[in-house]
Amino acid sequence: MLGRLNHVAIAVPDIAAATATYRDTLGAEVSQAVPQPDHGVTTVFINLPNTKIELLEPYGENSPIARFLERNPDGGIHHICYEVDDIIAARDKLIADGARVLGSGEPKIGAHGKPVLFLHPKDFCGTLVELEQA
Amino acid sequence: MLGRLNHVAIAVPDIAAATATYRDTLGAEVSQAVPQPDHGVTTVFINLPNTKIELLEPYGENSPIARFLERNPDGGIHHICYEVDDIIAARDKLIADGARVLGSGEPKIGAHGKPVLFLHPKDFCGTLVELEQA
């Protein structure tokens, strides 16, 4: 079921500073910052040869990463995203196995324009897991 | 400077249970568990098409991940590892840019038999970064 690691998401308090760290100090290729009002975050992608790092800064009120940054003011790894071929089949298998899907259980369109679901960290080694249809 | 994402390391309290979650619930290809007494961890690799997840369970006394698991009893993402072509050149550039390298600053041989260094989380968006010579 599990496909590629699509991205590792790092929540940061200051996306301009974080982008500069990855671009200038670590010498990585970085994208422009893109505000995503529907998702409550601004995103920057760090393009690595085999996958991406997604930097996330809160956008607007009620950002889904605001509480995470209160607990982790320097930032930190917020979630990992795995690709699956069929997100509905993946969801149904996970639920049958007793895993908890967050929210309504229906896929939403994520920041990349593809259907995504989030899985409960307590069922996956303390890590917030996003599944994205490849 | 920054090359491939070599792995994402997840510290877990019970590596057999975590391996079963990845193998049976998420349908991933997993390795055997390998005790690494020199590193104070037991490791399992989750082989994804483009990178690896490294599950870590404490091994012996004074495991380097023991305190992390005290703070995160369900487990959690412990570090991310990026490949670099020349770890000495990478270290010297990072230090010149004011970043902190942990320990003595000299690369050690990591769990994969290659030279590695760890960078201070406060200098890298709150994330513990491992650099491994490719």
Domain count, chain A: 1
Q: Is a pLDDT exceeding 90 seen at residue A16?
A: yes
Instruction: Provide mean pLDDT across the span A30-54.
Output: 96
Q: CATH number for the domain including B114?
A: 3.10.180.10
Angle at the Cα of A77 from the Cα atoms of A68 and B38, rounded to 5 degrees: 130
- What residues of A are in contact with residue B76 (Cβ under 8 Å)? 121, 125-127
Question: Is the CB of residue B128 less than 8 Å away from at least one CB of chain A?
Answer: no
Whole-angstrom distance, CA of residue A123 vs CA of residue A106: 18
Question: What's the first-to-final CA gap in chain B, in angstroms?
Answer: 11
Residue B67 DSSP symbol = H
User: By the 8 A CB rule, do A57 and A15 touch?
Assistant: yes
Rounded to a whole number of angstroms, the CA Rg of chain A reads 15
Query: Confidence class of residue A112 from pLDDT cuts 50, 70 and 90?
Result: confident
Considering only CB atoms, B25 lies closest to which of A4, A50, A94, namely A94
Whole-angstrom distance, CA of residue B108 vs CA of residue B132: 10
ipTM of the complex in this document? 0.96
Question: Is the CB of residue A27 less than 8 Å away from at least one CB of chain B?
Answer: yes
Q: Tell me which chain A residue has its CA closest to the CA of residue B123.
A: A21
Q: Comparing C-alpha atoms, which of B74, B18, B21 is closest to residue B42? A: B18
User: By the 8 A CB rule, do A10 and A19 touch?
Assistant: no
Q: Is a pLDDT exceeding 90 seen at residue A60?
A: yes
* B6-38 exposure pattern, b = at least 16 Cβ within 10 A, e = fewer: bbbbbbbbebeebbebbeebbebebeeeeeeee
Distance from CA of A94 to the nearest CA of B (A): 6
Distance from CA of A19 to the nearest CA of B (A): 10
Q: Comparing C-alpha atoms, which of B101, B105, B107 is closest to residue B132? A: B107
Distance from CA of A97 to the nearest CA of B (A): 7
Q: What is the largest CA-CA distance in chain A?
A: 46
Domain that holds residue A61: 5-133
Considering only CB atoms, B50 lies closest to which of A5, A10, A25, namely A5
Query: Confidence class of residue A111 from pLDDT cuts 50, 70 and 90?
Result: confident
| Helices vs. strands in chain A: H and E counts, helices first | 3, 9
Whole-angstrom distance, CA of residue A44 vs CA of residue A47: 10
Q: Is a pLDDT exceeding 90 seen at residue A110?
A: no
Q: pLDDT per residue over A65-104, tens digit each?
A: 999 999 999 999 999 999 999 999 999 999 999 999 999 9
At A44 the three-state DSSP class reads strand
A2 with B125: Cβ contact below 8 A? no
Residue pairs between chains A and B whose CB atoms are closer than 8 Å: 124
Question: Is the CB of residue A2 less than 8 Å away from at least one CB of chain B?
Answer: yes
User: Cα dist. A101→A68, A117, B38 in Å?
Assistant: 19, 7, 38
pLDDT one digit per residue (tens) for chain B, 134 residues: 999 999 999 999 999 999 999 999 999 999 999 999 999 999 999 999 999 999 999 999 899 999 999 999 999 999 999 999 999 999 999 999 999 999 999 999 988 899 999 999 999 999 999 999 99
Residue B51 DSSP symbol = -
A74 with B121: Cβ contact below 8 A? yes
Angle at the Cα of B40 from the Cα atoms of B83 and B120, rounded to 5 degrees: 45
pLDDT at B29: 97
Considering only CB atoms, A50 lies closest to which of B5, B24, B125, namely B5
Half-sphere exposure in the Cβ direction for A102 (13 Å, CA): 16
pLDDT at B112: 84
Distance from CA of A125 to the nearest CA of B (A): 5
Q: Is a pLDDT exceeding 90 seen at residue A56?
A: yes
pLDDT at B111: 81
Name the residue with higher pLDDT: B6 or A38: B6
Whole-angstrom distance, CA of residue A68 vs CA of residue A86: 29
* Alpha-helix runs per DSSP H in A8-50: 15-20
